[in-house]
Structure 1
Amino acid sequence: MMSTNTENLETFYLVSFRNLIDSELYEQLQTIINYIVLFDDEEQCLQYIQSLTKDDRIFVIIKHNSSSQFVSQLVTLRQIVSIYIYSDSAKKSSEQWTKFSKKIRDVFSQRDQLLQRIQVDYTERSLQKLDEPFVYSIFTTNTNQSASMNTNFIHFQILIDCLICIKSSPNDRKDLIGRCKQQYRQKTNESTVLEEFEKDYRSERCLLWYTRCTFLDRILKKALQVQNIEILLLFRFLIQDLVEQFKANKSLSSQRVYRAQLLSKAELDLLQKQTGEFLSMNIFLLANTSREQTRSSLLTLPTYDQTEKVLLEIHSNHRMHDAGHVLCSSKEEVLFLIGSIFHMTYIDRDHDGIWNIHLTLCSRKQHQLQTVIEQKKNELDIEETNLLSIGFLLQDMEKFDQAEKYYRYLLEQLSKDQEDLSCCYHALGEVMQKKGEYDSCLTWYNKALETCKSDESGTAMSYNSMATVYSKKRDYKLALKFFNKALDIWNGVLGEDHPDVAMCWNNIGIINQEEAKYTDALECYHKAWNIRQKCLSSDHPSLGQLHACIGNVHYQLRRYDLALDHYNSAIEIWKKSGGSHYLDMGVIYRNIGLVYRDKGDFQQALIHMKKAESIYRQVYSPTDHHVLQIEKLVNDISFKK
């Protein structure tokens, strides 16, 4: 395989074969689509295409004698937008090929004709934007559905808050321009506009530049789609300048605007199932004030077997003050702020076969969305948004490799401020702990300790984390030693009623439980409970976690009714957490099933085991050991029932 660059910052690819594309044609194609990948055989080519995301868009040049199996597989892939047959000795006629699939554009024997057609198709797709990735996340109020949707929704809202609030670096624009120059070194048009952007960009004209530099829009959308944190950080200056424009240009009147979109049948089916829920648009969404003009662009567009034509009809309410949007300079288009939230009211299909999705712009304040988002920020210890916040978010998203890369990058960016360095070292320790690399994580915790000697609270946190690692290594003696060190410091510095003291008592309780010292464990858990009750709301997830721990101890002591009381209390609390404890709920349903099994109530045991099984199936792969274990438990209980 040969590719143009190590990383494609856009969604557009051109894929072909080495023995079909000579060096001259390669260079000519690069002036149209900058990212080109060449292969030696069809299987290799197909595997690569299937490894890309469903939101990537691929132009393919193939030989006239390509295998029918290969072509049949290509045309079914959502990523493939255009296929070109290039040969000077084609055996099949153009009509025969194009009848095979609408995606096959034509048979070309002249390279000039091939280049011209690819240029036309590419330009049409880039300008119309109808088949651009539809990047969104859903918040569902239906507790029976997968709460992973809500977690994705909340994560993205926090990510946007970070990009808006974390002050951009003076070098961001320079570095972004450098990356773009590398990406578009063969594309004359982009290079020319890029030079003007480098010379003339001003904050007050950010909207003009964003709409004119279409490649910036494409790169930002791709970065948002794959959550490329490195690129998104470089875009902070532009995002923040645009947000200031939004604040200054809030619409004072309600209006309806429209956007044309091609969606896959699977995407449309998912949206239909989520009618009535909330949708976060994870891009800057451009819409048109003319319904007829927008519908017309859809009607003239060809569709394929896997796609549907969709018209988004958006009603924006001027009373939603935190959901501002800004008019583009043409007066015919509206640009919605990244992360704007919409209520999806209903979906219907008109006589032309166009699906109409009716959306109403709304506020985070609706359905307590803001409360759920702030709750997650508190869980992640994001009291004020700073550069470390993004790392905390990546950890919660379980993107540990990205988090490690980000923190290492951050070490180079941070000043010599001891507190910041200590926090970053500690965060790297947390990442390595979650990756199971315990020796490496202890090294980072020790670095944090050495750096924050004057910060007693930071020292206690490092001791607490080191103790957690020793606990995972089953060295309970060392674990207790460091937990007690942390507890002594926090009691003296923060007082006995601080949440960190409660956390420490909770952790010591876990050690005692592991060592079957159940009375000591309960005593520690109740100390943690008494503190958390004083400083947290009654539905805080940390109280749910304590209920679960106390329930586990009572189960071990065969106090089944007490165990059920605490397990059910944990479930009720976590149901209010917006889905961030969905898997924890699965574990508790399993534990409740075990309690009922041991009580001999196999009907209730089966009901709760199946609830756990449903959650596990949504979180894990079918072959994961968690799924296999829960399936065995369900089968065993079914047999006894």
Structure 2
Amino acid sequence: MTSKGSGIRVVVFDPYDRVHSTIRDAMIEPIESFYNSSSCISSIQQNSKDERAIILITTSTEDHVLQSFDALNSIEAILILSKSRREIDTLPSKVIGIYSRIENLLRVLFETFDTIELQLDANSILFHRQEDGSDNTDFYFYNIWKTHNTNQILTKKVFIEQARILFRSYRKIKSLINDFNISYKSSEVLYWLDKYNHPFPYHLLISNALRTHDQQILQLVHFFLNDLSQQMKPVPIGPSYNQVFFGTKLPISIVDRLEQQTSKDIIAFQCFLLATRSRTKALSAATQPTRRHKIANVLFKIDVSHALCAYINDSILINMATPFQITCVTRNTGSGGVQQLVTIVTLVSLDRKHREQLLGQFIQRQKAAGKTINDFIHQTIPPVRVDNNYTRESENKSDISKYSIPLYVVSVSKTSLDSLAVCDEETEADELIARGRWAQAVDALARIESPNVRVLNKQGCLLRERLQDLPSALECHQQALTKATDKGKAETLIYLGIVYHDMQQSAEALKYYSQALQWFEQEKPRDPAMIARCLVGLGNVHWARKELDQALDYTERALALREQEVKPKNNLDIAACLGNIGNILHDQGDFERALIYAKRAVDLLRSDGENDLRLAAALNNLGAMYQACGNYDKAREYFERALECLPDENHPYRTSTLNNIARLNNIEEE
């Protein structure tokens, strides 16, 4: 996963498949489902870099399983569906409760989701100084981004196009995108912050991008943030207007620092902070029961006299990155006989003169250090290589793998399954495929009663390759796996590996690719073509996980098989290996060899696959390499050649290449 999304992931560990479908139907965002605890834990650990909080739902009450989940830092809450009568106090501290009825669990799930979302906003606090006294550049990000960002603001139309690519596999979100496209008006932007009526785009995309400074997403939604900023006005004068409250829970380490920095430091929330005038309401939010350790109840008492705000019903929305002076931090006990320790943090918004002075001094210090505003705003952002998966990982020039897709397009191969009878619907689907009418072909295949393994895998490949509907593709291949035997089963494992890789569930992808490889290596007589497919898949997963040595080893083994053992030779498959090796070498910093392999891939694809999507991908990726190396003329040449191979104006590859050209234009203008 990337910064796209709410900042919260819902993971289900359900060995007996009791709740997967129910949770999936209840959620807008996709859930991650696991039947094996080790795979679940491995996936959570591998995806911890996306810095999203996790709510885990499980049907297991086994102590060793719960303790393993409780120990994972990214898990914020655990909900258990079980008829067990275990006492809550005997369970790990992250367990919210045990529920015997699914509707009760869902109610608490949504409440927990809302609570964690507020806590993520609270945890977005940044101090203007590091603990060693040096500047905290992140603190100044939005104040400079808002006033000095010279990038052209993208239109709503461009945003909608990109959003459909970002969420191409999520049906529920795609309907919300359509609603936004039809109904959104800039003058009504505040209505689109209502989570339950309009979760897109603010809660499903923007809020987490704000907290994480995701510049790729922020650039896409710049028009929305501008519309929101237009609604921010000075607060009317008077004590009844100036005082607002925000209740939450914070790690004790942050509370300790707030106390230590009283009257010495300035903080800002990296979000639009939703506060209330009701002290009672905020205090109630701060003192909600929790079993978590090292967590403090915190009530922010905020003077917004000099802040820009907007009103939403009974709440007040404070402008993003508003700087506050910490004037007082005190600890009190709760009232009404409930003794709960509450830390009260009193904040006062800085006046305009003080804000400008603070920012001006920072800019002067940056200039004195030889850094420009553009250096600060435009961190080195590599060109997009046809993938559109945005992340917060380091965006070093030598690491551009996350902007690429592996150069393969997989269709159902000819096997012994071809001897099965072909029905009229499948014949119709094959004719539609030949004419490029992918959606109609999928509909034709879906009308087949009791589809066989070949039909299910063919439908799954169309859904993944042509319609970018990964959940539906996964469902087709999973059905095929229940029916398949022998070689058909091994091939289906490969398709499952591809889908899980595209869904960024690397642990599952590795499992299925490894099972397929084991079967084909034991098969007699040996089939080098199928072994190579497995090796390519394993190489791609290791590449995505930044395990570059392993990725290179698997891909080079696949290349050797395709060049030396596979008969007759298939230059398109060889080119796929060459392109992938080029990408891996580039990420290892071996730019010279990377370009050699990338050029070989383009040459082969140009001679044997003039109309193949892989040629467009290879040309685009070669352009991305040249751009990352600073050779902008060559980069433009290959981007333009990639466009010539992409007549479909709606294809995501074309969109990515156009984005690269736009980025190149910006670089040259600067």
Aligned AA for 1:271? Answer: L
What residue in structure 1 maps to residue 102 of structure 2?
114
CA contact (8 A) 1:135 1:282 kept: yes
What residue in structure 1 maps to residue 524 of structure 2?
none
- Counterpart of 2:295 (choices 307, 315, 319) is 307
What residue in structure 2 maps to residue 374 of structure 1?
363
Alpha carbons of 1:172 and 1:69: their partners in 2 closer, same or farther (altered >3 Å)?
same
CA contact (8 A) 2:325 2:349 kept: yes
Q: Does 2:329 align with 1:347?
A: yes
Q: Does 2:256 align with 1:283?
A: no
Secondary structure of the structure 2 residue equivalent to 1:317: coil
User: 1 CA distance for matches of 2:248 and 2:50?
Assistant: 15
Alpha carbons of 1:108 and 1:284: their partners in 2 closer, same or farther (altered >3 Å)?
closer
Q: Does 2:338 align with 1:356?
A: no
Aligned AA for 2:305? Answer: N
CA contact (8 A) 1:308 1:354 kept: yes
CA contact (8 A) 1:12 1:33 kept: no
User: 2 CA distance for matches of 1:226 and 1:402?
Assistant: 20
Alpha carbons of 1:402 and 1:308: their partners in 2 closer, same or farther (altered >3 Å)?
farther
CA contact (8 A) 2:3 2:214 kept: no
User: 1 CA distance for matches of 2:57 and 2:14?
Assistant: 11
Secondary structure of the structure 1 residue equivalent to 2:302: strand
What residue in structure 2 maps to residue 543 of structure 1?
none
Alpha carbons of 1:47 and 1:10: their partners in 2 closer, same or farther (altered >3 Å)?
same
User: 2 CA distance for matches of 1:206 and 1:60?
Assistant: 33
User: 1 CA distance for matches of 2:224 and 2:159?
Assistant: 8
User: 2 CA distance for matches of 1:220 and 1:268?
Assistant: 27
What residue in structure 1 maps to residue 617 of structure 2?
none
What residue in structure 2 maps to residue 169 of structure 1?
155
Q: CA RMSD in A?
A: 4.2
- The 5 Å alignment of 1:440-479 reads 447-448=631-632
What residue in structure 1 maps to residue 208 of structure 2?
222
Aligned AA for 1:240? Answer: N
CA contact (8 A) 1:138 1:279 kept: yes
CA contact (8 A) 1:172 1:233 kept: no
Alpha carbons of 1:316 and 1:105: their partners in 2 closer, same or farther (altered >3 Å)?
closer
Alpha carbons of 1:136 and 1:157: their partners in 2 closer, same or farther (altered >3 Å)?
farther
Q: Does 2:256 align with 1:269?
A: yes
What residue in structure 2 maps to residue 131 of structure 1?
119
- Counterpart of 2:58 (choices 62, 70, 89) is 62
C-alpha deviation, 1:291, in angstroms: 1.5
Alpha carbons of 1:85 and 1:442: their partners in 2 closer, same or farther (altered >3 Å)?
closer
Q: Does 2:305 align with 1:317?
A: yes
Alpha carbons of 1:185 and 1:298: their partners in 2 closer, same or farther (altered >3 Å)?
same
What residue in structure 2 maps to residue 635 of structure 1?
none
C-alpha deviation, 1:233, in angstroms: 1.5
CA contact (8 A) 1:164 1:239 kept: no
CA contact (8 A) 2:302 2:347 kept: yes
Aligned AA for 1:250? Answer: P
Q: Deviations over 1:344-377 (max 9, x none)?
A: 2221111121111111111575384222343367
What residue in structure 1 maps to residue 7 of structure 2?
11
C-alpha deviation, 1:243, in angstroms: 1.4
C-alpha deviation, 1:333, in angstroms: 1.8
What residue in structure 1 maps to residue 315 of structure 2?
333
- Counterpart of 1:26 (choices 9, 12, 21) is 21
What residue in structure 2 maps to residue 250 of structure 1?
234
User: 2 CA distance for matches of 1:41 and 1:337?
Assistant: 44
User: 1 CA distance for matches of 2:591 and 2:206?
Assistant: 36
Unaligned runs of 5+ in 1: 319-323, 410-431, 453-641
Alpha carbons of 1:191 and 1:436: their partners in 2 closer, same or farther (altered >3 Å)?
closer
C-alpha deviation, 1:283, in angstroms: 0.7
CA contact (8 A) 2:41 2:69 kept: yes
Aligned AA for 2:29? Answer: N
Aligned AA for 2:217? Answer: I
Q: Does 2:164 align with 1:178?
A: yes
CA contact (8 A) 1:380 1:393 kept: no
What residue in structure 2 maps to residue 503 of structure 1?
none
User: 2 CA distance for matches of 1:445 and 1:191?
Assistant: 36
User: 2 CA distance for matches of 1:229 and 1:297?
Assistant: 31
Q: Does 2:378 align with 1:391?
A: yes
Alpha carbons of 1:381 and 1:103: their partners in 2 closer, same or farther (altered >3 Å)?
closer
What residue in structure 2 maps to residue 298 of structure 1?
286
C-alpha deviation, 1:260, in angstroms: 1.0
**Fraction of identical pairs, as percent:** 18
Unaligned runs of 5+ in 2: 335-340, 383-391, 405-584, 596-624, 637-670
C-alpha deviation, 1:341, in angstroms: 0.8
What residue in structure 2 maps to residue 197 of structure 1?
180
Q: Deviations over 1:219-244 (max 9, x none)?
A: 22211233332222221111011112
User: 2 CA distance for matches of 1:366 and 1:382?
Assistant: 22
Q: Does 2:95 align with 1:104?
A: yes
Alpha carbons of 1:225 and 1:183: their partners in 2 closer, same or farther (altered >3 Å)?
farther
C-alpha deviation, 1:203, in angstroms: 1.1
User: 1 CA distance for matches of 2:162 and 2:627?
Assistant: 34
User: 1 CA distance for matches of 2:588 and 2:316?
Assistant: 44
Q: Deviations over 1:29-58 (max 9, x none)?
A: 342262322345434433443452696332
Q: Deviations over 1:294-353 (max 9, x none)?
A: 1133334435223211111111234xxxxx4223142x3221111211112221111121
User: 1 CA distance for matches of 2:61 and 2:277?
Assistant: 48
CA contact (8 A) 1:12 1:35 kept: no
CA contact (8 A) 2:398 2:586 kept: no
| Higher RCO (CA < 8 A, seq sep 6+) | 2
C-alpha deviation, 1:268, in angstroms: 2.1
CA contact (8 A) 2:245 2:302 kept: yes
User: 1 CA distance for matches of 2:79 and 2:28?
Assistant: 14
C-alpha deviation, 1:164, in angstroms: 8.9
Q: Deviations over 1:381-408 (max 9, x none)?
A: 656x7xx97434769x994338976999
Secondary structure of the structure 1 residue equivalent to 2:396: helix
User: 2 CA distance for matches of 1:327 and 1:7?
Assistant: 26
Secondary structure of the structure 1 residue equivalent to 2:194: helix
CA contact (8 A) 1:391 1:406 kept: no
Aligned AA for 1:205? Answer: E
C-alpha deviation, 1:98, in angstroms: 5.1
User: 2 CA distance for matches of 1:59 and 1:293?
Assistant: 25
- Counterpart of 1:239 (choices 217, 225, 231) is 225
- Counterpart of 1:46 (choices 41, 50, 58) is 41
Could you state the TM-score of these two structures normalised by the residue count of structure 2? Answer: 0.51
